[in-house]
Structure 1
């Protein structure tokens, strides 16, 4: 079976985009996901974005991890989706904002300057700032929140030498975050309006170059704890492109959260697959 796809990236995350809006019946199986996302031996990606018709929004977005699991949301993946359907509409989109249906709720995105997308995020929830864990002989504060998917923020001084995979795996499986687990974000404050970021992503189960929901989570926690002073916050992923997080902070509460990311179409192709 031939599967047509588009390879895209946003902020340093890369995705395989499969469009099922016009009768494409391709099934995305766990075996296909593991093989297609495998780098050097296949297409290679941080995940697969499956685009489907929606009765209420412009598009329905389903996000799949390389391990075969389905994620609730992906910030950079949603940014890719917005640019993709702008370039490949199946019906006229008359509104300025594109609406995207996800398992985490409806997102709104605006495509700017051809390859920049500003995405309105869901309201952060499940906030817990009273957790701690010992890592490498030092006790760290853990800041947990859900920005569409669960994230745990840990502020560190020596980000370059932080063992992201080792510590991330340990935190990801803590009982406090069961049964779904958590993404783990290691953050260094760069200035009162900028952060450096490294991310251990569940579903990928290792460090990735970037993470949109992680950048948003890091900026929100930094703002609520007084580590950054104003919006927008520039977030610099370890291996990706800078992201910008916009928000309003009023009496300790965060509202109107947006992720701004640079999106690129890498190439279009097709692959042969037989389960």
Structure 2
């Protein structure tokens, strides 16, 4: 059995998408996800995305990072799913139900409502997540937001100067974050524009992170640094983030199909 796949990306954050709604897929495992994601010996991607039937939405999406860990949500991949579906649809994820829809700016994803309580991030113990009394060298006083998956955000004068490749994994694996954490370093350029870099748990620094853009925008809005609709500029390009009066997070941006192909699951250790 050969399995078809679609290679996609959202602002350079790239995915291998497997559609299990109409055909059986090989047994999913961490080792299989790692093998497919390997950029030298596999297809290569930041995340493996698996589409499945759902009993509570139009479809279910599962997300696996390069290290094989399954995560709750992926904003850029959600836009890729929206591009594939081509119409408004509800998607079940481990992080909750989201809505995707085509829009003038590409694909808009309703990411739901942000969560701020310490045990919703989660943190190892109770503390104020708005101004956390923590520091890792010059990165200090972060805020934490869960937007389907957990993020910690540091607002700094120049995010391009942060040694994210060194500090990112240290913070990701800190015991303060029992489920690990996505690490965001952001610079507020003005009240409608944020520059952002993201160290994604299980994937490292990526060219774009949709949930990171959402979490960072919400964190900046809570601190009164920006308005309720902002542009977030990542290394791969721009996303538009809005926090509606109803408390919903709307993310709008592009998604692209790179190519299609197929593979033999046995070549990647699947049964």
CA distance, structure 2, for counterparts of residue 162 and residue 155 of structure 1: 11
Task: Tell me which residue corresponds to 1:18.
Answer: 18
Q: Secondary structure in 2 aligned to 1:35? A: helix
CA distance, structure 1, for counterparts of residue 175 and residue 94 of structure 2: 24
Task: Tell me which residue corresponds to 2:107.
Answer: 117
TM-superposed CA distance for 1:174, in Å, is 2.2
Higher relative strand content: 1
Task: Tell me which residue corresponds to 1:105.
Answer: 96
CA distance, structure 2, for counterparts of residue 169 and residue 75 of structure 1: 21
CA distance, structure 1, for counterparts of residue 30 and residue 219 of structure 2: 34
Q: Deviations over 1:172-202 (max 9, x none)?
A: 1222211x01100000111110001000110
- The runs of at least 4 consecutive aligned structure 1 residues that moved more than 6 Å come to none
TM-superposed CA distance for 1:226, in Å, is 1.3
2:253 matches 1:246: no
TM-superposed CA distance for 1:3, in Å, is 2.2
TM-superposed CA distance for 1:139, in Å, is 5.8
Contact 1:6 1:17 in 2 (8 A): yes
2:209 matches 1:211: yes
Task: Tell me which residue corresponds to 1:38.
Answer: 38
**Structure 2 residue ranges without an equivalent (≥5):** 118-128
TM-superposed CA distance for 1:272, in Å, is 2.7
**Structure 1 residue ranges without an equivalent (≥5):** 87-95
More displaced stretch, 255-264 vs 115-124? 115-124
Q: Deviations over 1:32-64 (max 9, x none)?
A: 211211124332111111001112211111111
Task: Tell me which residue corresponds to 1:130.
Answer: 131
Contact 1:15 1:77 in 2 (8 A): yes
Task: Tell me which residue corresponds to 1:89.
Answer: none
CA distance, structure 1, for counterparts of residue 23 and residue 44 of structure 2: 25
Contact 1:104 1:122 in 2 (8 A): no
Q: Deviations over 1:66-101 (max 9, x none)?
A: 111111111111111121122xxxxxxxxx631001
CA distance, structure 1, for counterparts of residue 69 and residue 40 of structure 2: 21
What value does the CA root-mean-square deviation take over the aligned residues?
1.7
Task: Tell me which residue corresponds to 1:234.
Answer: 231
2:260 matches 1:260: no
Task: Tell me which residue corresponds to 2:199.
Answer: 200
Task: State how many pairs are aligned.
Answer: 256
| Cα 1:261–1:139 shift into 2, 3 Å | closer
TM-score normalised by structure 1 residue count: 0.88
CA distance, structure 2, for counterparts of residue 146 and residue 210 of structure 1: 17
Contact 1:132 1:139 in 2 (8 A): no
